Every structure is written in structure tokens, then in C-alpha cells.
Structure 1
């Protein structure tokens, strides 16, 4: 399945009083990595909304923390499609520092049509499934420069 990487430099504001990354930042980084993943597929959330009337809201998220991160750590978030169902996409995120895993988790996003009548989950079209199923990996340096969240 398709995957990509995003580099993030840990900022001072990402840490707590003890100098350790405050846990909600992992969820912020997962969200950023997920959006960057869709951009790398030419399916940016803005483009999906404008061209298809589709939004990809977050339905579920989970993270397991294995090692502490500190100010000025450079991390790489590897994002991959783990599962596609009829109306949802599950993205697996793995966070690395110096090539060693420090955290991992997932996001489940809905494929949701937005119209004047409201929003409703709809079936993911075949062209999108084909794009997301391709065995393509976009490395961080090919993707975008280091991201300061």
C-alpha cells in the first residue's frame, strides 16, 4: 500500500515543564502527516472538497508511546494505508528518531460527502482505491522540507 514520510523538528512549545513532548502533540503530528499523505497522492483535503465535495474527517485515533521525545529532536513519521473499507481509510503512523521507533498508532478517516443537505459517508470510488493501493513510497526529502509544527 502507498506510504510516505514527513520530518518534524520538535519545538520548545511542544514540550511540557519536564522538557518532554506533551502527548497531544503526537495526535497533531498524526493529523499533519495524514494530510501530507493525501497531498502526496494528489488527493489533498482542499482539492477533495473543492472537486469532489468530499471531506475526510477523523473518526478514531490511537497512539502508543514507547520513548520520550525532547526539544530539538528530529523525528520522521512514516504513514501508510493499513486498511481500506467501503467508507473508511485507516492510516498507520510510526514515529522514528534516529531510525528507532518511539511511537506508533493509527487514524481512521471517513470518506464523507458534504452537500447542502448535510454530510454522509459514501463509498470510496475505485480511482481513489487504486491510487491508495499502489506500492509507492514518498521519502521525506521528496515530499517537503522539514516541517516545524
Structure 2
């Protein structure tokens, strides 16, 4: 179950929160979440956030020829998550540019910060493989949730 929180709500962080449960398949031989899976959790959260505000990436690609792709990632691994942990992926929009978005994403276990990332997503014209402006309808919805 995902929850969409509005900026300024003192009871919740701004942005979007996606609950995630750690399954056996998410862990490595030591029983902790494999480092790359934090990026998967973040990808799911961004995708579900877009879906929650009315946009599906597959439809954007099919109808407009546009796709969101990861351009860069800065990530800090703070503490390990383990099998069966209940996590929350907290996503915020730190910068909304003409053709890109910088998301702040944190993976939390309760009040404990496990993973902290800044992920830049670019909007591209899939057929030309070139940057493209974020569609106005998407931009309008994202602006409502921008934190900075």
C-alpha cells in the first residue's frame, strides 16, 4: 500500500511513501538486503508515485514516445536492512527542471535511515534518443509535490 502525502503535512514527510517488505530474494548470502536492491526499491517508488498522480510510464512511451531514464545516482548506504524488515521508501522532488527531475529518496526502517540517494531522471524522446521536455500535464502534477 502506498501513501501520498502532501508537502507541509506535519504528521508525514513530504512527497510520496511506498511501504516495502524485505523478502528472501532481496537479501545476499549474509542475510542483508543486497546493495543494488535499494535502487530497485527507489525505482518502484518513483513509478508508483507517477501512477498515483495519474501517469503510467508505459503509456507515455506508447502514446508520446517519451521515457524517463536514470541519468545519475548518488547513494549512501547507512545501515543494513534484513529479511522481513518493513521499510518505507520516502521520495521527494528536490529539483524539477525542463527535461529532468532530481529525486531525493530515503529508505527507512521506522525512524532509522538505511539508505539515502539523490537520483536524477531525464525525460527522453525514445526514438531520437535525445532529451525532451517533461510533458506539461506531468510537470503540473509534479510541481504540486515539489519540496524545494
TM-score, scaled relative to structure 1: 0.81
Q: Secondary structure at the match of 1:57?
A: strand
Cα RMSD (Å) of the superposition? 1.8
Aligned residues: 134
| Residue of structure 2 equivalent to 1:87 | 99
Deviation at 1:43, TM superposition (A): 1.7
| Residue of structure 1 equivalent to 2:36 | 24
Distance in 2 between residues matched to 1:126 and 1:48, nearest whole Å: 12
Q: Secondary structure at the match of 2:137?
A: helix
Aligned counterpart for 1:130 among listed residues 117, 120, 140: 140
| Residues 88 and 109 in structure 2, CA contact (< 8 A), matched pair in contact too | yes
Alignment gaps of 5+ in structure 2: 1-6, 8-13
Deviation at 1:37, TM superposition (A): 1.6
2:45 pairs with 1:53: no
Greater RCO (CA < 8 Å, at least 6 residues apart):
1
Alignment of 1:1-149 (within 5 A): 3-115=15-127, 118-135=128-145
Deviation at 1:121, TM superposition (A): 0.7
Distance in 1 between residues matched to 2:135 and 2:48, nearest whole Å: 20
| Residue of structure 2 equivalent to 1:143 | none
Distance in 2 between residues matched to 1:109 and 1:49, nearest whole Å: 15
TM-score, scaled relative to structure 2: 0.82
